[in-house]
Chain A
Amino acid sequence: MAAVPAKTRVFVKQLVQLSLVNGRVSSEQVAGVLEYLEKHPPARPQVVLGYYRDLIAAELAKGEARIEHAGPVAPSAVAAIAAAMTRRYGRPVEAVTLPNPALFAGLRVRVADDVFESSVSGQLAALAASC
């Protein structure tokens, strides 16, 4: 990402803005952007598309709560987490569950850069670090 020139960054960020509808990534808008880029290929299209992909992935991550769990999770709990995250970030956040036996028990919720840790493995790691 460091090799992306400043002008390209500005251009791609404008493309990302075009890809959002009400603050969320719209698949129709993304398709439109890609079609435009195909018809009007920019200089170094690989760099532009790579950077565009990274930024769109970051935007998608903002609207997704990845819930890692070791045991079963009740659908009501998933819905409650999604609602809590939507309230916290002030944007619609959808919950996605991912089983992860390495957690032993509890949950780990990731929304973009933020990780909410309440798993046993996470707490044991924190305890080990504090000793």
Chain B
Amino acid sequence: MSTVLAQIESQIAKLSSTAVRKNTGFITAVADGVAKVNGLSDVMYNEMVAFPGGVIGIALNLGEDEVGCVVLGDVSQLKQGDEVQTTGKLLSVPVGKGLLGRVVDALGNAVDGKGAIDSTTFYPVEKIAPGIMARKSVNQPLFTGIMAIDSMIPIGRGQRELIIGDRGTGKTTIAIDTIINQANINRVGLASGDPAFRPVYSIYVAIGQKNSNIVRTIAALEAAGALEFTCIVAAPAADNPANQYLAPYSGAAIGEWFMENGMDALIVYDDLSKHAVAYRQISLILKRPSGREAYPGDVFYLHSRLLERAARLDGKGSLTALPIIETLAGDVSAYIPTNVISITDGQIFLETDLFNQGIRPAVSVGLSVSRVGSAAQIKATKQVGGKLKGELAQFRELAAFAQFGSDLDAKTKAQLDRGSRIVELFKQPAFNPISIELQAVTIFALQKGYYDGIDIKTVTKTSASIREFFKTRQDALLTEIRTKAALDKDLEAKIVTALNAWKSSAA
């Protein structure tokens, strides 16, 4: 009984007699998710404001006579003359491991029906990116599980690598594969009990996507057992533009918690083209001056301040960003693509033609680049795949010339044949990432000529057969490759022996 009384007493104590000062204003107009407010003379830029009925908004335009606020909720219940109050707080979202396996909206509210988010820590949605001195150079690999990327366009922890391409070229698939691969690595690493192992947690931010697509992504992650290491921030197409504008920043805040607490995280922004469109919509409603393609003048800053938050911090963790940009008819010179290309540390360009030819993932080796380069590769990958990008580029050049002439010398024919085999080797089904040790074995087999002499069309199948053989019968050898992360003479000999065993078993 005394506990009950104590609770009531504490509630009464909260009803203090001191006056609380609030700065207020009145709605003069509400349209398209934006409220114009008269008053709010003390409001700060980006401050949360409280509308009646528990609806919150953010002050984005501080005008001379009125404040433009984006409403993050149901605007239908707001009307002219309603009182608006400042809160003195910047927008914050819950962060922490309690978000893993959960689907949240742009404000960090659970939308998956699994109950409230188990978190007591909140991070501001908008935060200044880490400075120069706090950062460390990117030299730890982040394996995507996609052979074409890990061997030729390696991504490091803390890097920002853009995935760019037309619609339907497999951009999201690459991102999902990467998330699934992190989960696979995490499971193996955590099971090994290695104290030096650093798991990578993933955040997938869906901006302006169809709900059905988001559901499909969640299902794919769940089927692959990756959802337990992933948090999904969903701002679907049906959501208001303010939430679509905020979602990437909320995702970044969630990722920053992992980074600042000594862990590694990966964040996927799918996609920033739709994010720019949502921001353009808000800006036009706020009557901000428009520039090229009707985007506001600060659309570069919109993405630069977001992507700068991805970093590898000295003495702490890292946040790797994979932003996605959708191009129109392969035009990478459009406004938003060029902006994001210039901000990121490289790009993976996906080509529609390659996709239609059945080359999947449709990575254009010529146009794709990673500015971190081989610094983010393990030695084993460098040893087996160091020359692949050059060989493939040479192949593309020769293949273009070969179309015009029929008489080719033996050397050229051999180069074309090898190039075709590399292209076939890099074909990989969706949601099926390959571990780095299996990638090393697969490419090692190419270097040692195990795919020579077989029909080009069977290269993909043969490589899958080699991987299956190693996975089922050479587990110890794969573990050795993974732990050593480099191929010495002894290890190479063991792989050759195993490959010969596969060859004889397959014959």
Q: Do A and B come from one complex?
A: yes
Write out, one digit per residue, whether chain B residues 373-417 have a CB within 8 A of any chain A CB (1) or not (0): 000000000000000000000000000000000000000000000
A114-B24 contact, Cβ under 8 Å, with A2-B29, A127-B15: yes
- Between A and B, 28 residue pairs with Cβ closer than 8 Å are A1-B38, A2-B28, A2-B66, A2-B287, A4-B65, A9-B64, A9-B65, A107-B19, A112-B41, A113-B24, A113-B39, A114-B21, A114-B22, A114-B24, A114-B42, A115-B23, A115-B24, A115-B85, A116-B21, A117-B19, A117-B21, A118-B20, A120-B15, A123-B15, A124-B15, A126-B20, A127-B15, A129-B54
Chain A positions within 8 Å of B54 at CB level:
129
Chain B positions within 8 Å of A92 at CB level:
none
A84 CB → nearest B CB, Å: 10
Complex Cα spacing A1 to B54, Å: 26
Chain A positions within 8 Å of B64 at CB level:
9
Quick one: which of A1, A122, A126 has the most chain B CB within 10 A?
A: A1
Tally A residues with Cβ within 8 Å of B: 22
Chain A contacts with B in 73-131, Cβ cutoff 8 A = 106-107, 109-110, 112-118, 120, 122-124, 126-127, 129
Contact between B11 and A127, CB atoms less than 8 A apart: yes
Complex Cα spacing A121 to B240, Å: 33
Judge whether B17 is part of the interface by a CB distance below 8 angstroms: yes
Judge whether B114 is part of the interface by a CB distance below 8 angstroms: no
A118-B17 contact, Cβ under 8 Å, with A1-B28, A2-B28, A2-B29: yes
Judge whether B14 is part of the interface by a CB distance below 8 angstroms: yes
Judge whether B36 is part of the interface by a CB distance below 8 angstroms: yes
Chain A positions within 8 Å of B22 at CB level:
114-117
Contact between B20 and A117, CB atoms less than 8 A apart: yes
Complex Cα spacing A113 to B15, Å: 24
Chain A positions within 8 Å of B11 at CB level:
127
Judge whether B2 is part of the interface by a CB distance below 8 angstroms: no
Inter-chain pairs besides A106-B17, A116-B19, 17 sampled, C-beta below 8 Å: A1-B65, A2-B66, A4-B65, A109-B19, A112-B39, A113-B24, A113-B40, A114-B22, A114-B42, A115-B21, A116-B21, A117-B20, A117-B21, A122-B20, A123-B16, A126-B20, A129-B50
Quick one: which of A106, A109, A115, A127 has the most chain B CB within 10 A?
A: A115
Chain A positions within 8 Å of B505 at CB level:
none
Complex Cα spacing A112 to B21, Å: 12
Sort A-B residue pairs by CB-CB distance and give the 8 closest, nearest first. Answer: A118-B19, A116-B19, A113-B39, A113-B41, A115-B22, A123-B15, A117-B20, A115-B24
A47 CB → nearest B CB, Å: 13
Write out, one digit per residue, whether chain B residues 1-35 have a CB within 8 A of any chain A CB (1) or not (0): 00000000001001111111111110011000000
Q: Which secondary structure dominates chain A's binding surface? A: mixed
Chain B positions within 8 Å of A116 at CB level:
19-22
Complex Cα spacing A75 to B262, Å: 62
Chain A contacts with B in 42-69, Cβ cutoff 8 A = none
Contact between B36 and A2, CB atoms less than 8 A apart: yes
A114-B66 contact, Cβ under 8 Å, with A2-B29, A120-B15, A127-B11: no
Complex Cα spacing A115 to B83, Å: 11
> Which residue of chain A has the shortest Cβ distance to B86 in the bound complex?
A113
Complex Cα spacing A129 to B53, Å: 10
Contact between A113 and B14, CB atoms less than 8 A apart: no
Chain A positions within 8 Å of B41 at CB level:
112-113
Contact between A113 and B42, CB atoms less than 8 A apart: yes
Chain B positions within 8 Å of A124 at CB level:
15
Chain B positions within 8 Å of A120 at CB level:
15
Chain B positions within 8 Å of A127 at CB level:
11, 14-15
> Which residue of chain B has the shortest Cβ distance to A109 in the bound complex?
B19
Complex Cα spacing A127 to B16, Å: 11
> Which residue of chain B has the shortest Cβ distance to A107 in the bound complex?
B19
Complex Cα spacing A1 to B65, Å: 8
A15 CB → nearest B CB, Å: 15
Chain A positions within 8 Å of B25 at CB level:
113
Quick one: which of A113, A118, A122 has the most chain B CB within 10 A?
A: A113
Write out, one digit per residue, whether chain B residues 38-51 have a CB within 8 A of any chain A CB (1) or not (0): 11111000000010
Chain B positions within 8 Å of A112 at CB level:
39, 41
Write out, one digit per residue, whether chain B residues 62-92 have a CB within 8 A of any chain A CB (1) or not (0): 0011100000000000000000010000000
Complex Cα spacing A9 to B406, Å: 77
> Which residue of chain A has the shortest Cβ distance to B43 in the bound complex?
A113
Chain A positions within 8 Å of B29 at CB level:
2
A113-B21 contact, Cβ under 8 Å, with A2-B29, A127-B15: no
Chain B positions within 8 Å of A9 at CB level:
64-65
B61 CB → nearest A CB, Å: 11
Chain B positions within 8 Å of A4 at CB level:
65
A16 CB → nearest B CB, Å: 12
Chain A positions within 8 Å of B40 at CB level:
113
> Which residue of chain B has the shortest Cβ distance to A131 in the bound complex?
B11
Contact between B23 and A113, CB atoms less than 8 A apart: yes
Contact between B19 and A1, CB atoms less than 8 A apart: no
A13 CB → nearest B CB, Å: 9
> Which residue of chain B has the shortest Cβ distance to A126 in the bound complex?
B20
> Which residue of chain A has the shortest Cβ distance to B20 in the bound complex?
A117
Chain B positions within 8 Å of A109 at CB level:
19
> Which residue of chain A has the shortest Cβ distance to B41 in the bound complex?
A113
Complex Cα spacing A38 to B447, Å: 93
Chain A positions within 8 Å of B38 at CB level:
1
Chain A positions within 8 Å of B39 at CB level:
112-113
A125 CB → nearest B CB, Å: 10
A130 CB → nearest B CB, Å: 8
Write out, one digit per residue, whether chain B residues 144-187 have a CB within 8 A of any chain A CB (1) or not (0): 00000000000000000000000000000000000000000000
A32 CB → nearest B CB, Å: 24
